[in-house]
Structure 1
Amino acid sequence: SPPRPRGWAAHLLVVAIVLAALNLRPAITSLGALLEEVRVALGMSGSVAGLLTSVPPLCFAVFGVTAPRLARRFGPGAVVCGGMAAIAAGLLIRPFAGGTAGFLAATALALMGIAVSNVLMPVIVKRWFPDRIGTMTGLYSMALALGTSTAAAVTVPATDLLGGDWRSGLALWSVLAAVAVL
C-alpha cells in the first residue's frame, strides 16, 4: 500500500477527492434543468429526449465495469484523472456538437468519465486514507450530493446570467471538471 499522505499532500488529496466527487453528477442534473430548451434547439423528438434519460445508467453499466481493469493497468488515480478529463471534454463539446448525434456522443463521453471515476473513488479513499475511511467516504458522499443538487439548482439561473443561451449554461460545468483534472 502507498505511504499515507501527510501535511500539504494530505490536504491536496482531500481537495482532489472533493473536486472529483463534485463532478460525478452535474452532467446529468444540469441537462435535466435545460432539457426542454435543448430538445427544441436540436430538434429532438420526445423519444430521443427520453433516450437521454436512459443514457446515464447505460453508460454506468457499460463503462463502470471497465474501471477495475483500467485501475490495475494505469492506477486508480490516473484513471480518475482521465475520467475527469473525459467529463470536462464531454461537457465542453456537448453544447456545441451541432446536432443530436454529436450531443449524445459528447454526453456519453462525459458519462464514461463519470462511470469509471464513480467506481474508483472508494478505492482511492481506502488506499490513501485507510485510517479515515468513514470520514473520507462521508466527505466524498457529501460532495457528490452537493454537486448533484448545485447543478440542478444553479444551471438555469447561471444560464440566464450568461445571456440565456442553454449552451453556455451546460458548458459552464466543464470548468469545474477542468479544475478537478488539475
Structure 2
Amino acid sequence: MNVGRLWLTVAILLVAINLRPAMAALGPLLDLIEHATGLDATGAGLLTTLPVFLMGVFALLARFLRKTLGEVNGVTFGVVLIMLACASRAYWGSSIGLLASAAVVGLGIALVQALLPGFIKGQFGATTGRVMGFYATAIMGGAAIAAASAARLNELLGWQYTLAVWALPALLALIGWKASTTGRELAVAPASQQAPMHFWRYRRAWSLMLFFGLSTGVYTLILAWLPPFYIELGQSRQLAGDLLAGLTLTEVIAGMLVVSLVGKYPDRRPLLLVALGCTLLGLAIMIMSPVSLALAAIVLLGLGVGALFPLSLILAMDHLEQPAFAGDLAAFVQGGGYMIASLMPFLAGWVKREFTNLSLAWVGVFVTVFAITLLAFKFSPASYRKAFSDK
C-alpha cells in the first residue's frame, strides 16, 4: 500500500470511529438522562431509534447525494454535523435538545455511511473487502471507547459534557479527512454517466436488506439497553458501562478476525454461521443466567455481533463489481436495514415500560437471530450474478 492510500485508510478509520459514540455513550448514563430530562423508557429508546432511523432514510438517497454533494464533500458535511450535534449537548440538555441532537447525529452518520462505501470501492478495488472490514471494526472501536469512558467521564464532567466531548475526535477526523482526500473525488467514475439500478425490483436486495437490518438491530438494541439491563439487575453503573465496553471491545476483535479471514472465504456463509451461532449462545445466556455468566454472554455476543456487522456490509458489496452500483446497493441495504434496526431499541424501551424489565426483549432478539440464520444459507457466491440479472 502506497503512502497516499495509507493516509487515506487512516482518515477513513478516523471518520468511522465517530459513527457510534454519540449513541454508545448514552447507555451507561441513560437513567441519569431520564431523571434529568423527564424522558420515560420509550422516549429514552428514541435517542437511539431516531438517529438509526434517519441513517436509513438518508442512505436511500445515496445516489442523489453522490450526484449533488459528491462523495468527499458529502462525508465532510456528515462529519461536521456529528461534531456540531455532539458539541450542542454541552449546552442543550433538555429532552427536546437531546432528541434534536440525536436527529442531527443521525443525519451526519447517514451521509457518511451512504457515501463512504462507494468511495472505498472506487479507491481500493480488489482490496475493498479488507478496507470495509477495517472501516466496520473502527465503527465498533469508537463505540467501545465511548461505552468504557462514559461512567468515568461522568464523574469528572457530568453527563452533558460527557456526551459533548465526542465533538473533539470528530474535529480530528474532519482534519484528517480533508487532508487526505484533496483531489480524490475525480478518481471515482461519476455515477451520473450510468443508468441507475432499481434495487427494489430484486428479491436478493430485499433479502440483504432484511439480513442487515435485523442483525444491525441486535447491535443497536444491545448498544442502547445492555447497561440499563444490568443496572436494573443491581449492578453498578461503572460495571454496566464496562460490560458494554468489553462487549464492544470483543466486537473489535471479531472485526479484526473478519479482516484477516475474509479473503480466505469467498463464500461468506461459513463465517456468517459461526457469527450467528455465537450470537444465539450469548442471547441464551442473557435469558437464562445474565449475572453469573455475564462474561461468557459478553464474549459470545461480542464475537457474534462484531463479526455480523462487517460481514453483512461486505456481503452486500460482493454482489456487484462496478463501484457506483455496489455503493448504491450498499445504500439500499443500509437504508431499509437501518429503518428496520431502528425499531428494536424503541420496542425494547416499550417492553421495559410495559413489563418493568428487559428479559422478554432478549427472547424476541433470540427468535430474530434464529430467523436470519435460516436466511444466511441462501447467500452463496454462485447466486450473486443471477440475483441481479434481468433475465
Question: Aligning the two structures, in what range does the TM-score lie when normalised by the shorter sequence?
Answer: 0.7 to 0.9
Distance 1:99 1:117 in 2: 27
Normalised TM-score (structure 1): 0.87
In structure 2, the partner of 1:15 is 10
- 1:44 aligned counterpart, secondary structure: coil
In structure 2, the partner of 1:84 is 79
Whether contact under 8 Å (1:95, 1:103) holds in the other structure is no
Is 1:49 the counterpart of 2:51? The answer is no
Unaligned runs of 5+ in 1: none
Whether contact under 8 Å (1:158, 1:169) holds in the other structure is yes
* Aligned pairs (5 A) from 1:94-109: 94-109=89-104
Q: CA deviation at 1:54?
A: 2.1
* Match among 109, 114, 126 for residue 114 of structure 1: 109
Distance 1:67 1:54 in 2: 20
Is 1:137 the counterpart of 2:132? The answer is yes
* Match among 163, 167, 174 for residue 174 of structure 1: 167
Equivalent residue pairs, number = 175
Whether contact under 8 Å (2:47, 2:98) holds in the other structure is no
Give the stretch that moved more between structures: 66-75 or 85-94: 66-75
In structure 2, the partner of 1:36 is 31
Distance 1:180 1:68 in 2: 24
The 4+ residue runs of structure 1 with deviation greater than 3 A are: none
Give aligned-pair identity as a percent.
33
Whether contact under 8 Å (1:84, 1:180) holds in the other structure is yes
The structure whose RCO (Cα within 8 Å, separation 6+) is larger is 1
In structure 2, the partner of 1:157 is 152
Q: CA deviation at 1:23?
A: 1.0
Whether contact under 8 Å (1:64, 1:116) holds in the other structure is yes
- 2:58 aligned counterpart, secondary structure: helix
Letter in 2 for 1:110: V
Distance 2:5 2:120 in 1: 12
Whether contact under 8 Å (1:81, 1:181) holds in the other structure is yes
In structure 2, the partner of 1:69 is 64
- Aligned-CA RMSD value: 1.8
Q: Could you list the per-position Cα deviations for residues 81-104 of structure 1 after superposition, in whole angstroms to 9, with x for gaps in the alignment?
A: 110000000111124214211221
- 2:77 aligned counterpart, secondary structure: helix
Q: CA deviation at 1:6?
A: 4.3
Change (3 A) 1:118 1:81: same
- 1:131 aligned counterpart, secondary structure: helix
Letter in 1 for 2:70: G
Distance 2:97 2:63 in 1: 28
Whether contact under 8 Å (2:20, 2:143) holds in the other structure is yes
Q: CA deviation at 1:50?
A: 3.0
Whether contact under 8 Å (1:20, 1:180) holds in the other structure is yes
Distance 2:148 2:93 in 1: 26
Change (3 A) 1:45 1:72: same
Normalised TM-score (structure 2): 0.42
Q: CA deviation at 1:115?
A: 1.4
Q: CA deviation at 1:28?
A: 0.9
Q: CA deviation at 1:106?
A: 1.3
In structure 1, the partner of 2:308 is none
Highest CA radius of gyration, 1 or 2? 2
